[in-house]
Amino acid sequence: MIADILGVQKTTIKNVVNLNERLKATKPPRKKGPTGVAREVLQLYGNASLASLPIQASEGFKSRRDGETTRWVWCEFSNSAHPAKIHLHHWHRLSDTKKKDEDEDIQMNENDQKPCCKFRAVSDYGPASFNKKAQVVRYSPSFYAKHVAPSSVGWSSWETDYLFDLCDEFDLRFTVIYDRYAPLTLLRQALSKAKGVQTDTKVKHVSKSRKKSDSIVLGSFSATAALSLMPADRIKSLVEQIEPYQPRPLESLKDRYYSIARSLVEHEFRKKIQSVEARFNEMSQTIGNQTNIDALAHQKAQLVAETKEELNRHPYIKFHYE
């Protein structure tokens, strides 16, 4: 039917089928090359003899199994990179040197009948060493009041604590910090809760105690925890103080953190230099020999120079993060 539609004669179809069969019959059989020689090598040699080519038989799986088997035990390990410091289990391979020592410590687990180490110390997870966390500097309330507050225009101590908490949580990834930065939302939520607490007659004494502890809140707790201990009047004043400067640009957040961090590092190194000078001055007063005094002065100058060089190598001093 299809042949009639296409206008093809049946004899033509038979000739095509017979031609395919004849081509298959005349195709030379495929020659198998020697085992252990790659196909590309055979193609390079062509029809030449491979008698001079050394052929080495591949090592089979059974021959590799000869010898002592590897011992694996079900051991507990901890993951220091996890916030909860969870303990998990995995298979641990015993080395040849520890097999004899740990054979006595291996017992069968009662739950899943797996060999486990009885007295082996809990090891840390290997890839946990690659979990590098940024070291966020922290300041004391006295340092903030003396060195930071005089130059803080539009910034409160609570908002600075809030920024440093986010820097610690997100490892100084300021793009993420800028996305999560919402101090007004946090303050307004805390204000509504504080008003609800103060209107309750059963907990009026709580608000009075909060006013007494208000001066130590910002240095002792995180910014979020400090809000739960603040009275409503203090929270309202914070909202009025920072609201004109919101939202803050990304560059403002970076400048606030790195300027305080740089000031804190310089302050710590100044304290080191002062302690070195005070120690050497005290030692020079107890020595009467002028030669020893000159040697102490040279040693003091050398130590102070090394401390200043260390300060200049510090990342917060050496680089400007803009």
DSSP 8-state code for residue 148: I
C-alpha distance from residue 128 to each of 124, 170, 216, 315 (Å)? 7, 18, 36, 25
Minimal CA–CA distance to 75: which of 54, 90, 59, 64?
90
pLDDT score for 183: 93
Return the higher-pLDDT residue of 293 and 268.
Answer: 268
pLDDT tens-digit series, residues 10-39: 566 666 666 667 666 666 666 666 666 777
pLDDT tens-digit series, residues 187-207: 999 888 887 755 443 433 333
Domain ranges across the chain: 72-130, 141-248, 256-318
Q: The tokens 């090592």 sit on which residue?
A: 59
**In the chain, % of residues over pLDDT 90:** 21
Per-residue pLDDT band for 49 (boundaries 50, 70, 90) equals: low
Instruction: Write the DSSP string, 200-236.
Output: -GGGHHHHHHHHHTHHHHHHHS-HHHHHTTS-HHHHH
pLDDT score for 217: 32
Those residues whose C-beta lies under 8 Å from the C-beta of residue 108, and which sit 6 or more positions away, are: 114, 115, 116
pLDDT score for 214: 34
Query: Per DSSP, what are the bridge partners of residue 90?
Result: 75
Number of alpha helices (DSSP H) and beta strands (DSSP E) in the chain: 16, 5
Lowest mean pLDDT among 129-133, 167-171, 209-213, 233-237: 209-213
Token readout for 73 is 């035990």
Please compute the mean of the pLDDT values over residues 125-131 and round it to a whole number: 84
Dihedral angle computed from the Cα positions of residues 284, 286, 289 and 294, in that order, rounded to the nearest 10 degrees: -10
**In the chain, % of residues over pLDDT 70:** 64
> What is d(CA 146, CA 118) in angstroms, rounded to the nearest whole number?
56
> What is d(CA 318, CA 262) in angstroms, rounded to the nearest whole number?
10
Please compute the mean of the pLDDT values over residues 31-60 and round it to a whole number: 65
pLDDT tens-digit series, residues 293-317: 788 888 888 888 998 899 999 888 8
Q: The tokens 């088997």 sit on which residue?
A: 69
pLDDT tens-digit series, residues 134-169: 888 899 999 999 999 988 888 999 999 999 999 999
Which range has the top average pLDDT, 70-84, 211-225, 226-240? Answer: 226-240
Token readout for 38 is 């790659």
Return the higher-pLDDT residue of 92 and 33.
Answer: 92
The burial class, CB within 10 Å (0-12 / 13-18 / 19+), for 233 is middle
User: Are the C-beta atoms of 114 and 108 separated by less than 8 Å?
Assistant: yes
User: Are the C-beta atoms of 230 and 156 separated by less than 8 Å?
Assistant: no
Average pLDDT, rounded, for the chain:
75
